Amino acid sequence: MPRFRYRALRQTGGEVEGELNADDERAAVVQLQAVGNFPIEIRSATETAARPGSRAGRPLPTRELILFTRQFATLMRAGVALDRALSLIADERKNSRRARLAARLLAAVNRGESLSHALGEEPAFSRPYAMVVAAGEARGDVGGALARLADLLERNRAITQSLLNALIYPASVLVVAILSLGFLFAFVLPRFEDLLTSFRHEPPWAMRALLGFSALVQSFGLPFLVLILAFGAFVLVRRRNADFRLAMDRRLLTLPGLGTLITKVETERLAFLLGSLVAAGIDLPRAVSAVRLTSTNAAIRAGLADAQRSIERGDGVAASLAANRLLPDMALELVRVGEETGDLAPMLLEASNILRKEIEAVSTELIALIAPLSMILLGLIIGAIALAIFGTVMEVYDLAS
């Protein structure tokens, strides 16, 4: 009889792993559900543990994932049966990716798989997503679990969008400035050099400086660009090494201004997701493990791994997070209060709200500060070049007359 490896959620909210013998995956699901467990993942014991690369389909864009989750949550909270809700989503727009995703989930549910297990097989859904749904299944509130997930996704998208809005304008000004100056130094100023050579006239010092820089751009501009691209490719390749990635991400967090902003964004997501998982009934070590997998910074992930081990040893959540400097002091105080009062999840969510407001304030300040400064700097550079060119033109005009 085939042997299967499984991960399942107990009715108490704790997660359990193990192996069992069954005729097929559906029979394994039935066995686990018969003893009160809700399967999250089931695979043949002979398969490799690298599940993400074997899952079918492609990830959904964030906007599509939010729409799917919100629609699914609305249907489930309205009392629509699970298979009927998936069928309605699959039939709404049959050629859309959301519809195809719903159709695959419906087929899995009809085969006897739990919804959380079916979600775990899809690359569109992260491990915390499947865990929250599994907790909702255990508590009989899948609709509420999906609603919390929709709130989480919408919040993350809103924060990302606010940061992008803060960076788009200065980035666009920088790109325009580089292109404009590159065109001037590579194509416009050499024409003046030819003109001055024909008149055998020594240009003003400002024009001499510009012509010297123009010669550098023409001689070394392309090699410098190739060097930058090669360095970028080197960094991308080296980031596959765990030690290099960890060292680089730690250095990134220490950069003035940018490092502080990145830390706030990461810790805000950490607090909100951890609070959401705890509120959904996930035990703390598993919740911290799931949050660790969603972090984009290797240094934060390493700190969360240490915090998870501390919590498993019996240390408090606040003490474990403080030891690895994963939350600012204000947020840690709220977590300590939550531990003492038994309201850990609400305090984590409150800490994330405070951090989100700080991120929005920083984004607003960045826009208010960087936008005028970038315009002033660009105007000064272009103005200085224009004055040098105009002075040279006037001298050439005097010579010609």
Q: Per residue in 362-392, pLDDT tens?
A: 777 777 777 778 778 877 877 877 777 777 7
Stretch among 28-42, 45-59, 160-174 having the lowest mean pLDDT:
45-59
Task: Please give the structure tokens belonging to residue 9.
Answer: 């959620």
Q: Which residue has the higher pLDDT, 71 or 49?
A: 71
What is the per-residue burial (b if ≥16 Cβ within 10 Å, else e) of 259-280?
Answer: eebbbbbbbbbbbbbbbbbbbb
In this model, does residue 198 exceed pLDDT 70?
no
Average pLDDT over residues 142-154: 86
Residue type, 270: L
Residue 332 Rama label (left phi>0; alpha psi -120 to 50; beta): alpha
In this model, does residue 52 exceed pLDDT 60?
no
Domain regions of the chain by residue span = 3-51, 58-125, 140-401
Q: Which fold has domain 58-125?
A: Receptor-associated Protein (1.20.81)
Q: How confident is the model at residue 51 (pLDDT cuts 50, 70, 90)?
A: very low
Does residue 125 sit in helix, strand or coil?
coil
Question: Which position has the token pair 């902003």?
Answer: 261
Q: How confident is the model at residue 230 (pLDDT cuts 50, 70, 90)?
A: very high
- The candidate with the shortest Cα–Cα distance to 287, out of 69, 156, 131, is 131
Supply the CATH classification number for the domain 140-401: 1.20.81.30
Within a 10 A sphere around the Cβ of 64, how many other Cβ atoms? 15
CB 102 within 8 A of CB 90: yes
Stretch among 124-133, 164-173, 234-243 having the lowest mean pLDDT:
164-173
Q: Which residue has the higher pLDDT, 136 or 7?
A: 136
Question: Which position has the token pair 């491990």?
Answer: 127
| Run of H or E residues at 254 | none
DSSP secondary structure string for all residues of 170-201: HHHHHHHHHHHHHHIIIIIHHHHHHHHHHHT-
Does residue 123 sit in helix, strand or coil?
coil
Q: What's residue 196's pLDDT?
A: 67
What is the spatial distance between Cα 288 and Cα 317, in angstroms, rounded to a whole number?
Answer: 10
Planar angle of CA 28, 30, 33, nearest 5 degrees: 110
Q: What's residue 29's pLDDT?
A: 78
Does residue 6 sit in helix, strand or coil?
strand
Q: What's residue 201's pLDDT?
A: 62
Q: How confident is the model at residue 55 (pLDDT cuts 50, 70, 90)?
A: very low
- The candidate with the shortest Cα–Cα distance to 208, out of 364, 390, 388, 20, is 388
What pairs with residue 6 in β-bridges? 18, 42
Q: What is the dihedral of CA 138, 87, 146, 36, to 10 degrees?
A: 10
Average pLDDT over residues 146-165: 81
Mean pLDDT of the chain: 79
Within a 10 A sphere around the Cβ of 28, how many other Cβ atoms? 27
Q: What's residue 399's pLDDT?
A: 64
Q: Look at the pTM and tell me if it is higher than 0.75.
A: no
Q: How confident is the model at residue 289 (pLDDT cuts 50, 70, 90)?
A: confident
What is the spatial distance between Cα 168 and Cα 31, in angstroms, rounded to a whole number?
Answer: 53
Question: Which position has the token pair 């934060």?
Answer: 300
Average pLDDT over residues 238-248: 83
Average pLDDT over residues 129-135: 83
In this model, does residue 83 exceed pLDDT 80?
yes
Helices (H), 280-343: 284-294, 298-312, 317-323, 329-341
In this model, does residue 49 exceed pLDDT 70?
no
In this model, does residue 104 exceed pLDDT 50?
yes
Q: Which residue has the higher pLDDT, 44 or 110?
A: 110
Q: Quick check: do 58-125 and 140-401 share a fold? A: yes
